[in-house]
Amino acid sequence: MTDAHVTEPPVRRPIADEISLWEVLAVLLRRRGTIVLTTILVTALAIAVTLVRAEEFTTQAAFRPQGTEASSSQLMALASQFGVNVPGGGEEASPAFYAELLASREILSRAATRPYDVDGVGTVLLKDLLEIEQDTEALRDAATINWLREEAVSVSTGRETGTVTVSVTTEWPDLSRGIADELLAEVAIFNLNTRQSQAAAERAFIEERVREAEAELEAAEGELRIFLEANRQWQDSPLLTFRQQALQREVTLRSSVLSTLVQSFEQARISEVRDTPVITVVQEPFLPPGPDERPLVLIAVLGIVLGGMMGVVLAFVVEAFRRPSEGDPAKEDFQNTWEGLKRSIPFVGSRA
């Protein structure tokens, strides 16, 4: 009877260069002081930087644009009678448009170059208050505009309500409110100028059509007058009656068109000089009652996470440098290269 040979499964031997989970945990335990100290230092530094920063004050203003759909619809209906296509309005009044407008150079340049009354400072320009130093005044103004766009002013829009909200944050509460007031005023001026220019274009278009309609009405009345003079007894003939009715309808139509054009022309003239606001202010800019709340909890959490990650990396770096180099060709090669580099640097190699 032959003995049965039992084949044992091969035992997996650890590879020399392989790092096990237990080794990683051991390093973390040995260097726990380094990790904790790094985490504390980074978190404390982040909180200190947050506390040292100057206090900031934020104000908000909200408005809703008033569209010009009624005026545009009147113009399109009038133009369609003559086969003229007029682009529809309303897109320029969307909240997204005003968000782009408030970040545009045209609006921000006016807010950046006007003086403001700041408590404790007096009437001052932004570029002087911020102590912006550039070679020319134009560069100082450009830097002030960038500061407004990137740091001071933020804009959000409400899709459902169509409201545009402007937030202004500076180190001075009255300056924050002053900038917000100026931005609202500039938007209102831009809207007013845009509406008046559109009304002027409409007036010019309608004025031309009024002259044409007057000529067409005069021609239609002339044809009817000639017909009546040549056919004084047109009632006795069905054919002449039909012709008279057709000419009369043409005169009535041309008269109605002229009446509508004249009414629209007067409305366009009124709109051209009207200076009523075209935005509805939902929330006026207010004087901030106090400084903005500092996000210390968030900063502390981020500091702990970042500090912990830096501590872990530092722990492995320290462990790698303090580990004996026998049997580690990579570390020996690094140390030899480092020593050669130090010897090649003047004064450093001589001291070594």
The CATH number assigned to the domain holding 63 equals 3.30.1890
Give the count of alpha carbons within 13 A of 298, CB side only. 4
Task: Clarify whether residues 273 and 305 are in a common domain.
Answer: no
CB 110 within 8 A of CB 183: no
Q: So what's the pLDDT on residue 69? A: 47
Q: What is the pLDDT of residues 254-297, one digit of tens each?
A: 889 888 888 888 887 777 666 566 778 888 999 988 887 777 78
Q: So what's the pLDDT on residue 231? A: 84
Q: So what's the pLDDT on residue 213? A: 87
**pLDDT grade for 167, boundaries at 50, 70 and 90:** very high
Task: Clarify whether residues 30 and 179 are in a common domain.
Answer: no
Domain boundaries, position 241? 57-283
Task: Clarify whether residues 106 and 128 are in a common domain.
Answer: yes
Task: Clarify whether residues 179 and 299 are in a common domain.
Answer: no
Residue 216 has pLDDT above 50, yes or no: yes
For residue 148, report the phi and psi dihedrals to the nearest 5 degrees.
-60, -45
- Residue 72 domain-assigned? yes
Task: Clarify whether residues 139 and 177 are in a common domain.
Answer: yes
Q: Is the pTM of this model over 0.85?
A: no
- Residue 332 domain-assigned? no
Q: Which of 229, 250, 283 is the last residue of a domain?
A: 283
Task: Clarify whether residues 63 and 208 are in a common domain.
Answer: yes
Q: What is the pLDDT of residues 317-351, one digit of tens each?
A: 877 777 655 556 656 666 667 677 667 766 545 55
Give the count of alpha carbons within 13 A of 30, CB side only. 15
- Among 47-61, 211-225, 283-297, the range with the most confident prediction by mean pLDDT is 211-225
CB 85 within 8 A of CB 199: no
For residue 167, report the phi and psi dihedrals to the nearest 5 degrees.
-115, 135
Task: Clarify whether residues 114 and 44 are in a common domain.
Answer: no
- Residue 79 domain-assigned? yes
Task: Clarify whether residues 128 and 227 are in a common domain.
Answer: yes
Other Cβ atoms closer than 10 A to 41: 14
Across the chain, mean pLDDT equals: 79
- Residue 340 domain-assigned? no
Q: So what's the pLDDT on residue 161? A: 82
Task: Clarify whether residues 74 and 211 are in a common domain.
Answer: yes
Q: Which long-range contacts (CB under 8 A, 24 or more apart) does 139-148 make?
A: 141/109, 141/112, 141/113, 144/112, 144/113, 145/105, 145/108, 145/109, 145/112, 148/108, 148/111, 148/112, 148/179
Q: Which of 260, 283, 306 is the last residue of a domain?
A: 283
CA distance 205 to 168: 42
- Residue 197 domain-assigned? yes
167 three-state secondary structure? strand
Task: Clarify whether residues 204 and 79 are in a common domain.
Answer: yes
- Residue 227 domain-assigned? yes
**pLDDT grade for 1, boundaries at 50, 70 and 90:** very low
Task: Clarify whether residues 194 and 301 are in a common domain.
Answer: no
Task: Count up the domains in the chain and report the number.
Answer: 2
- Residue 135 domain-assigned? yes
Number of residues that make up the chain: 352
Task: Clarify whether residues 265 and 133 are in a common domain.
Answer: yes
- Residue 6 domain-assigned? no
Q: What is the pLDDT of residues 222-242, one digit of tens each?
A: 898 998 888 888 888 888 889
